[in-house]
Chain A
Amino acid sequence: KAGVTQTPRYLIKTRGQQVTLSCSPISGHRSVSWYQQTPGQGLQFLFEYFSETQRNKGNFPGRFSGRQFSNSRSEMNVSTLELGDSALYLCASSLDNRSNQPQHFGDGTRLSIL
């Protein structure tokens, strides 16, 4: 069974641009969560999607948005990029949003802002 796939693996952008990251969950998984990992702030929760609906949202500005498609694939968009957005963005999927389901993570997209 294929794991969580995130594309692209690496991305370089400049300030002010926008970016879209993609996450394909494990087949059959319907819940997808996004996290930002930086050396200074650690791993921080961005948002969670289940059945194409955003169920939970972390404390990030509105420049960070996402969506989930009917096949459970998810995209995350960041607009008006800032230097501080440089980070490893991780996607996790689980079977559903019930408590007894473990989260499975992809290898992430490393975003560098110049």
Chain B
Amino acid sequence: KQEVTQIPAALSVPEGENLVLNCSFTDSAIYNLQWFRQDPGKGLTSLLLIQSSQREQTSGRLNASLDKSSGRSTLYIAASQPGDSATYLCAVHRAGKSTFGDGTTLTVKP
């Protein structure tokens, strides 16, 4: 059974700091890994999708990496801003089903 763990559960940083969020999964037989952002009371916004054959994806200040053999992914956020405050979730996808971690709640203080 696939299990996804995200560390840390919560993170508070001052504005402008670079940070890394971690995601690990137990079964490396995945099709892809997707990072999402969730604001309170809202649905999920897709940030980055990494296919199983890829090592990383970048979008603006975000960079996600994937090491399938070790079952790990990281989301790097550069020059954090208060607007980045949200819960960040990673999900691994296989055979029509996504398994989510519990998320990292990020607070960026002005």
Contacts and interface: CB of A to CB of B under 8 A. Distances in A.
Interface of A: 4, 6, 31, 33, 35, 42-45, 48, 50, 55-56, 58, 90, 92, 97, 99-100, 102-108, 110
A105 B52 contact: no
Tell me the interface secondary structure of chain A in the complex: strand
B32 A100 contact: yes
Given A99-B52, A105-B43, A105-B45, A55 B96 contact: yes
A73 to B, nearest CB: 17
Contacts, number: 59
Contact of A100 (B51, B98, B102): B51
B46 A43 contact: no
Interface residues of B, number: 25
A105 B98 contact: no
25 contacts: A4-B43, A33-B98, A42-B103, A43-B100, A44-B100, A45-B97, A56-B95, A56-B96, A90-B43, A90-B44, A97-B96, A99-B93, A100-B32, A100-B51, A102-B34, A102-B46, A102-B49, A103-B93, A103-B98, A105-B44, A105-B46, A107-B43, A108-B42, A108-B43, A110-B41
Tell me the interface secondary structure of chain B in the complex: strand
Closest 4 CB pairs of A and B: A99-B31, A105-B44, A43-B100, A56-B96
